[in-house]
Amino acid sequence: MTASVRLYELVLESGRSASPFVWRIRYALAHKGIAYQSVPLGFIEIPQFFEGRFKTLPIIENGDTVMAESWDIAEYLDRAFPEQPQLFSSPTERSMVRLFDQWFLPAVVRPLLPVLVLDVYNAARAVDRPYFRESREARFKCDSIWRSIPSLGARRRTTRTTSRSGSSNGSRASRPCRCLLRTMKCCGVGSTAASIFIRSSSAAPGRGRSSNSDVRAFTGRDESSD
């Protein structure tokens, strides 16, 4: 298959992407065996493409079709390339994975952002750092992104304390993830592709963990940072 598909992905100074949403589509393209051309972009370059229609990455371009949002892209790939392996084995599986995604991002990723933001700043391209710092300090409502880290530690201590007292389930946040995967397996809807789609929300290949991920809550949307 010719590389008619273009994937516009957010990259850091290293030239690699730490976005779990970019990796989500990389996994999808690899699973379906679709050749594609990678177009690396920095934070400040995103508005320069497609007449500023999109504020987030990844973006996929295939002929006259251009779209953002990883879920929309994944569903489009299954429609546009039906002869290739499907990403989800059934509508039921797709719904269960999406349910997990809707829980995981606000419940797990969003609270971690204050401790991740400095890593993203340090890993970003030099030309992107002024924009990244100004926009994130405005978003977190602080005069320095460095100050966001102790505040997260305080929230963690509070969460652990309330959890021990029985008034919070904060220390058991990972249980819904395990329960969902177990339910999918028991129902026979847990394909390898779906499991990868879930796990790519929390880790990107080559990074080990998602500590440098420019993830959803940086933008308040379901994609990589703008």
Q: Is the pLDDT of residue 110 over 80?
A: yes
Sign of CA dihedral 91, 97, 99, 101: negative
Q: In terms of pLDDT, which residue wins out, 166 or 112?
A: 112
Q: In terms of pLDDT, which residue wins out, 127 or 180?
A: 127
Residues 120 and 135 sit within 8 Å (Cβ to Cβ):
no
The packing angle between helices 20-32 and 192-199, to 10°, is 160
Per the structure block, which two tokens stand in for 224?
């990589």
**What is the predicted pLDDT for the residue at 149?**
54
Per the structure block, which two tokens stand in for 198?
């879930």
- Across the range 168-197, mean pLDDT stands at 50
The DSSP 8-state label assigned to residue 169 in this structure reads -
pTM value? Answer: 0.68
CA distances from 136 to 44, 118, 131 (A): 13, 10, 8
CA 111/CA 3 separation, integer angstroms = 38
**Average pLDDT, whole number, for the chain?**
76
Closest CA to 12 of 140, 204, 150: 204
Closest CA to 222 of 41, 90, 67: 67
The packing angle between helices 70-80 and 20-32, to 10°, is 10
**pLDDT-based confidence at 140, cuts 50/70/90?**
confident
Segments of the chain assigned E as strands: 5-10, 36-41, 59-62, 65-68
pLDDT cut 90: percent of the chain above it? 50
**pLDDT-based confidence at 198, cuts 50/70/90?**
low
67 φ/ψ angles, rounded to the nearest 5 degrees? -155, 160
**What is the predicted pLDDT for the residue at 201?**
55
Which CATH superfamily groups domain 1-226?
Answer: Glutaredoxin (3.40.30.10)
pLDDT digits (tens, 9 = 90+) for 83-101: 999 999 899 999 999 999 9
pLDDT digits (tens, 9 = 90+) for 13-46: 999 997 889 999 999 999 999 999 999 999 999 9
**pLDDT-based confidence at 122, cuts 50/70/90?**
very high
**What is the predicted pLDDT for the residue at 79?**
95
CA 101/CA 109 separation, integer angstroms = 10
